[in-house]
Chain A
Amino acid sequence: MKEIINSIRARFPALSENEGVARILATGFLMHLGVTPAALADIKTVVSEAVTNAIVHGYRDRNGAGCPVFLELTLYADRTLVITVRDRGRGIPDLEQAMQPFFTTDREGERSGMGLPIMDAFTDQMKITTSPKGTKVVMKKRLP
């Protein structure tokens, strides 16, 4: 996995319209790699989930325009894709609880509570580091 083939970094405000922008970036990054439609759908989904979490939960009750979300995509020679999404928000108070299917702190907003379980299921590996200074999600997926 050591040799990096390609990598991009993006920083954008925590505005919900940027959820689609993040998916377009991921799609463009993978465009020439012959990724199957199913794998591409998985990657778009986990990018969307992680960015949405940063916007909805990380920066809850804050004006997203001044709050940065960082997206990094790195492709290694063995076709491992590493997706990193980072924010400087409030963090996840109870990560174990947040990982439970259907757990949500936002019932009124009709959040399904399936974001983190989907990210975990659609990737080969997921690691979340969180504190009151922000959250970093690193997901790895071997491309077919």
Chain B
Amino acid sequence: MKATTANCGEDLVVRVLGDVDHHTSLGLREEIDRQMTAAAPRRLVLDLSGTEFMDSSGLGLILGRYRKAREAGCELVLLRPTPAILRILRLAGVDGMLTIRQEKGEES
């Protein structure tokens, strides 16, 4: 797992690469929260196009960031999740409460 971050105007974009499971999610969570505190963005964008695997630990991470972002008056956007990740989001019934975009400006 690796995360790269970039500040794009009022957006903090985090590109999540590799596997997100119980083993990797703690480090990823700490990194995102650190960047969130430093950048105080209007929007947190998690780019999942390079995420090769995600299980319920990743779902917990996403829901945790959703809550933190909302408390900070920030919107969480999931960008380009793979079909396997979408399947987990839909099964959990959270796809309707999160903003999911397949491409910039396009909601799924």
A interface residue numbers (CB < 8 A to B): 16-17, 19-20, 23, 38, 41-42, 44-45, 48-49, 52, 55-56, 101-102, 109-115, 117-118, 121
Contact = CB atoms under 8 A, between A and B. Distances in A.
Nearest to A22: B21
A20 B60 contact: no
B91 A112 contact: no
Contact of A48 (B53, B60, B91, B93): B53
Contacts, number: 73
B31 interface: no
B84 A118 contact: no
Q: What's the dominant secondary structure at chain A's contact region?
A: helix
B56 interface: yes
Most chain B beta carbons < 10 A, residue from A38, A114, A118: A114
Nearest to A112: B60
Contacts of B87: 38, 41-42
Contact of A110 (B19, B23, B53, B64): B64
Nearest to B63: A112
Given A44-B53, A56-B22, A112-B57, 17 more contacts: A23-B53, A41-B83, A41-B84, A48-B21, A52-B56, A101-B92, A101-B93, A102-B92, A110-B63, A111-B56, A112-B60, A113-B60, A114-B60, A114-B88, A117-B91, A118-B55, A121-B91
B88 A45 contact: yes
Interface string B79-100: 0000110011001110000000
Q: What's the dominant secondary structure at chain B's contact region?
A: helix
Nearest to A46: B55
Nearest to B65: A110
Interface in B25-81: 25, 29, 53, 55-57, 59-61, 63-64
B22 A19 contact: yes
A38 B59 contact: no
A143 B21 CA distance: 24
Contacts of A111: 56-57, 60
9 contacts: A19-B23, A20-B19, A20-B21, A45-B84, A111-B56, A111-B60, A112-B92, A113-B56, A114-B56
Contacts of A23: 19, 53
Contacts of B25: 110
